[in-house]
Amino acid sequence: MSRKKSTDTAKPLIIVESPAKTKTLKNFLGDAYRVEATMGHVRDLPENRFGVDLEDGFKPEYVTLRERREVLKKLKEAAQQASEVYLASDPDREGEAIAWHLKEALKLQNARRIEFNEITRQAVEQALQNPRDIDMNRVNAQQARRILDRIVGYKLSPLLWKKASRNTLSAGRVQSVAVRLVVDREREIESFVPEEYWTITARLTPDSPDNAFDATLRLRDGEKLELHNEQEANAVLQELEGAQYVVGQIKRTERKRNPSPPFITSTLQQEAARKLGFSAKRTMQVAQQLYEGVELGEQGSVGLITYMRTDSTRVANEAQAQAREYIKGEFGDPYLPSKPPQYRSRRGAQDAHEAIRPTSVTRTPESVKQYLSADQFQLYRLIWQRFIASQMAPAVLDVVTVDIQANRYTFRATGSSVKFDGFMRIYVEGKDTSELSDEERPPLPPMIEGQILTLLALVPEQHFTEPPPRYTEATLVKALEEKGIGRPSTYATILSTIVERGYVELRDKRFHPTPLGIAVTDYLVKHFPDILDVQFTAGVEQQLDEIEEGNREWTEVLQAFYGPFAQKLAESEQSEERVQVQVQETDYECPLCGSKMVVRTGRYGRFLGCSRYPECKGVLKLTKNGEPAPPDRETDEKCEQCGWPMVIRWGKYGDYLACTNEKCKARRPLNAPDITCPSCKQGKIVEKRSRKGRAFYGCNRYPACQFVVWDKPTGGICPKCHSLLVEKRSGKEVVGIVCSNKDCDYREDIPAEGQALAS
Active site residues: 307
Q: Are residues 156 and 528 in contact, defined by beta-carbon separation less than 8 angstroms?
A: yes
Could you tell me where the DSSP H helices lie in 332-438?
A: 365-368, 374-390
| AA identity, residue 649 | R
Q: How many CB atoms lie within 10 A of CB 212?
A: 16
730 burial level (CB within 10 Å; 0-12, 13-18, 19+): middle
Q: Is the dihedral of CA 13, 18, 23, 24 positive or negative?
A: negative
Distance CA 494, CA 181 (A): 12
Following CA atoms 370, 375, 379, 385 in sequence, which dihedral angle do they give, to the nearest 10 degrees?
A: 40
What is the number of alpha carbons within 13 Å of residue 60 lying toward its C-beta?
Answer: 23
Nearest to 349 by CA among 474, 476, 473, 488: 488
Q: Are residues 198 and 461 in contact, defined by beta-carbon separation less than 8 angstroms?
A: yes
CA 319 to chain centre: 26
Give kind and range of the element (H or E) at residue 565: helix 554-574
Sheet of 85-87: strand order equals 34-37, 13-16, 85-87, 112-113
Distance CA 533, CA 173 (A): 10
- Assign 542 to helix, strand or coil: helix
Residues whose CB is less than 8 angstroms from the CB of residue 629 and which lie 6 or more positions away in sequence, other chains included: 620, 621, 622, 623, 650
Beta bridge partners of 601: 606
Q: How many CB atoms lie within 10 A of CB 61?
A: 11
Following CA atoms 481, 485, 487, 493 in sequence, which dihedral angle do they give, to the nearest 10 degrees?
A: -100
CA 169 to chain centre: 25
Distance CA 704, CA 381 (A): 40
| AA identity, residue 655 | D
CA 366 to chain centre: 23
31 burial level (CB within 10 Å; 0-12, 13-18, 19+): exposed
Phi, psi of 237, rounded to the nearest 5 degrees: -60, -40
Give kind and range of the element (H or E) at residue 570: helix 554-574
Q: Are residues 273 and 474 in contact, defined by beta-carbon separation less than 8 angstroms?
A: yes
What is the number of alpha carbons within 13 Å of residue 8 lying toward its C-beta?
Answer: 2
Q: Are residues 90 and 102 in contact, defined by beta-carbon separation less than 8 angstroms?
A: no
Beta bridge partners of 725: 739
| Crossing angle (nearest 10°) for helices 265-276 and 374-390 | 120
Do the strands 13-16 and 34-37 form a parallel or antiparallel pair, or are they unpaired? parallel
Q: Are residues 459 and 201 in contact, defined by beta-carbon separation less than 8 angstroms?
A: yes
